[in-house]
C-alpha cells in the first residue's frame, strides 16, 4: 500500500551546489511561487480564450471549470482546441524567458537546451482512469541523464483536481521496463515492491516542479465536480547533450494532421524562436 509525503521545498536563493545535490538525491526540486503571478494569469487566460466554451474561468474558485462533457487528451474536444493552444506564441516563449532559463541553468550547472516540444495539460473531472500513469521521461522522450522536465502550475491545484506526484529516488535505478496502461501516454513503468512512498503537495499558482529524466512521476485523478486543471511543461538538457528527433516536433503532431510548425508560426509576431533548434549540435 502506498503513502504520500509532502514535497521537499527548495529555495531559489540556496547555493546552486546544494540544489544540485538535492536534485541528484531526490530526483526532483520543488519551488514555491517561482513564476510571477502575472505571467501565470496571462498564460492561463490566453489558453482559456482558445478552449472556450469547453472550459471557462470561475472568478470565485479562481481556476478553470469545465462546461458539458468531460474530456481528456486525444478526445475530440481536446483535438479541436489543442492546435489553437499550441499556436500561441506566448506559450512557446514561456519557457525561454530569463526566469525559467535561470532556474534550468542553476539545476544543470551549465548552459541548457530547451526542447522544442512544449506540452499543455488539461484535466477535467469525469475521466477517472485516463490520468497519466507512472512513467519515466527517459523512456518516452528517448532522453539521456541530463534531461529534466519542468512543470508549472498556472493556478492553484488541490487534491481533488489531480496533482502531479513523484517517486523520490526512483531515478537512481535507471530506465525501467514498461507495460501497456490506460491513460495519457498509454504505458507505465515498473514500480519496485519497496517503492511505496510518493511525494506530492497541493500547488499554488507559479509553483515549479523539476524532475530527473528517470524520476518516476504520475498524475492523480481529477475527482471534483467542475474544477479543471491546466498546467504547462517541457523538457531541457545540458547544451550539447543528444536530443532525439521526436522532441523537435509539436506535441501530438504525430496524430493531428494540421498541427505542424507552419500552422503554429502562421500568426507569430517574432521569428526569434522559430525553428531555433536547427543548428543544435547533437540531434539524432
Q: What confidence score (pLDDT) does residue 185 get?
A: 85
Residue 149 lies in a domain: yes
* Percent of the chain scoring above 70 in pLDDT: 100
Q: Which residue has the higher pLDDT, 184 or 94?
A: 94
Q: Is 21 exposed, middle or buried (0-12, 13-18, 19+ CB in 10 A)?
A: exposed
Residue 283 lies in a domain: no
Residue 69 lies in a domain: yes
Taking the C-alpha atoms of residue 189 and residue 180, their distance in angstroms, rounded to an integer, is: 9
Taking the C-alpha atoms of residue 237 and residue 112, their distance in angstroms, rounded to an integer, is: 6
Of the ranges 79-93, 100-114, 180-194, which one carries the lowest mean pLDDT score? 180-194
Grid coordinates 509539436 are at which residue? Answer: 250
Question: 196, 2 in Cβ contact below 8 A?
Answer: yes
**pLDDT (tens digit per residue) in 123-160:** 999 999 999 999 999 999 999 999 999 999 999 999 99
Taking the C-alpha atoms of residue 33 and residue 39, their distance in angstroms, rounded to an integer, is: 11
Taking the C-alpha atoms of residue 218 and residue 9, their distance in angstroms, rounded to an integer, is: 19
CATH number at residue 57: 2.60.120.620
Residue 132 lies in a domain: yes
Task: Please report the DSSP string for 144-213 in residue order.
Answer: -TT-EEEEEESS-B-GGG--EEE-TTGGGG----EEE-SSTTSEEE---TT--EEE---B-TT-EEEEET
**Structural domain of residue 91, as residue ranges?**
27-265
Residue 2 lies in a domain: no
Taking the C-alpha atoms of residue 83 and residue 68, their distance in angstroms, rounded to an integer, is: 21
Band (pLDDT 50/70/90 cuts) for residue 109 is very high
Question: 123, 162 in Cβ contact below 8 A?
Answer: yes
Band (pLDDT 50/70/90 cuts) for residue 1 is confident
Residue 276 lies in a domain: no
Q: How far is CA 1 from CA 23, 102, 152, 162, 193, in A?
A: 26, 39, 29, 19, 10
Residue 8 lies in a domain: no
Our count of domains for the chain comes to 1
Residue 222 lies in a domain: yes
**pLDDT (tens digit per residue) in 207-247:** 999 999 999 999 999 999 999 999 999 999 999 999 999 99
**pLDDT (tens digit per residue) in 25-67:** 999 999 999 999 999 999 999 999 999 999 999 999 999 999 9
Question: 151, 279 in Cβ contact below 8 A?
Answer: no
Amino acid at each position: 500500500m502506498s503513502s504520500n509525503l509532502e514535497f521537499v521545498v527548495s529555495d531559489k536563493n540556496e547555493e546552486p551546489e546544494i540544489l544540485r545535490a538535492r536534485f541528484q538525491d531526490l530526483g526532483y526540486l520543488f519551488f514555491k511561487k517561482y513564476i510571477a503571478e502575472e505571467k501565470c494569469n496571462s498564460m492561463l487566460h490566453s489558453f482559456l480564450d482558445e478552449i472556450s466554451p469547453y472550459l471557462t474561468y470561475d472568478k470565485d474558485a479562481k481556476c478553470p471549470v469545465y462546461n458539458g462533457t468531460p474530456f481528456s487528451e486525444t478526445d475530440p474536444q481536446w483535438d479541436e482546441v489543442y492546435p489553437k493552444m499550441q499556436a500561441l506564441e506566448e506559450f512557446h516563449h514561456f519557457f525561454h524567458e530569463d526566469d525559467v532559463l535561470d532556474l534550468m541553468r542553476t539545476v544543470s550547472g551549465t548552459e541548457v537546451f530547451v526542447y522544442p516540444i512544449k506540452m499543455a495539460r488539461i484535466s477535467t473531472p469525469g475521466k477517472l482512469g485516463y490520468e497519466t500513469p507512472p512513467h519515466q521521461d527517459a523512456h518516452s522522450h528517448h532522453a539521456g541523464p541530463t534531461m529534466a522536465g519542468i512543470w508549472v502550475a498556472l493556478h492553484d491545484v488541490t487534491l481533488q483536481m489531480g496533482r502531479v506526484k513523484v517517486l523520490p529516488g526512483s531515478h537512481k535505478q535507471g530506465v525501467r521496463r514498461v507495460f501497456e496502461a490506460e491513460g495519457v501516454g498509454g504505458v507505465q513503468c515498473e514500480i519496485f515492491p519497496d517503492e511505496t512512498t510518493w511525494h506530492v503537495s497541493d500547488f499554488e499558482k507559479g509553483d515549479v516542479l523539476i524532475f530527473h529524466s528517470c524520476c518516476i512521476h504520475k498524475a492523480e485523478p481529477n475527482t471534483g465536480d467542475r474544477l479543471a486543471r491546466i498546467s504547462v511543461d517541457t523538457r531541457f538538457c545540458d547544451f550539447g547533450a543528444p536530443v532525439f528527433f521526436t522532441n523537435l516536433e509539436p506535441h501530438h503532431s504525430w496524430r493531428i494532421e494540421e498541427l505542424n510548425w507552419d500552422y503554429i508560426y502562421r500568426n507569430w509576431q517574432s521569428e526569434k524562436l522559430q525553428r531555433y533548434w536547427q543548428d543544435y549540435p547533437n540531434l539524432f
